Amino acid sequence: MKLIKKSILLLALAGGTFLSGGKAYAQQTLVDVRVDSAAILIGEQTVLHLTVTTDKDKAVQLVIPRDTLMAGVEVLEIPKADSTLIENDRLLIEQDLLVTSFDSSLYLLPPFMVIDGADTVYSNQVALKVSTVPVNADKPEEFYDIKNVWKPPFVLADYYPWIFGVLLTLFLICVVAYVIKRMRNRQSILPFKKPEPKLPPHEQAIKELDEIKQQKLWQQGRSKEYYTLITDTLRRYIVDRFGINAMEMTSGEILDIIRKQQEATSVYESLKQIMQLADFVKFAKMNPLPDENDLSLMNAYLFINQTKVEEIPVPGEGEKAEGEVKSVEKNDSNISKE
More confident of the two residues 182 and 40 = 40
Question: In percent, how much of the chain has pLDDT > 70?
Answer: 80
pLDDT of residue 266: 87
Q: Is residue 49 helix, strand or coil?
A: strand
The candidate with the shortest Cα–Cα distance to 242, out of 228, 254, 227, is 254
Q: In b/e form, how buried is each residue of 292-325, taking b as 16+ CB within 10 angstroms?
A: bbebbbebbebbbeebbeeeeeeeeeeeeeeeee
- CB atoms inside a 10 Å sphere around CB 271: 25
Angle at 240 between CA 235 and CA 244, to 5 degrees: 65
Distance CA 175, CA 160 (A): 22
Say if residues 84 and 133 touch (Cβ distance below 8 Å): no
More confident of the two residues 197 and 126 = 126
Mean pLDDT in residue range 6-16: 47
Q: Is the pLDDT of residue 171 over 90?
A: yes
The candidate with the shortest Cα–Cα distance to 288, out of 300, 273, 302, 301, is 273
Mean pLDDT in residue range 9-17: 46
Which run of H or E residues covers position 269?
helix 268-283
pLDDT of residue 224: 92
Q: Is the pLDDT of residue 20 over 70?
A: no
Say if residues 46 and 35 touch (Cβ distance below 8 Å): yes
Give the β-pairing of 39-41 and 45-55. unpaired
Distance CA 175, CA 225 (A): 53
Which run of H or E residues covers position 293?
helix 290-307
pLDDT of residue 204: 92
Q: Is the pLDDT of residue 194 over 80?
A: no
More confident of the two residues 191 and 12 = 191
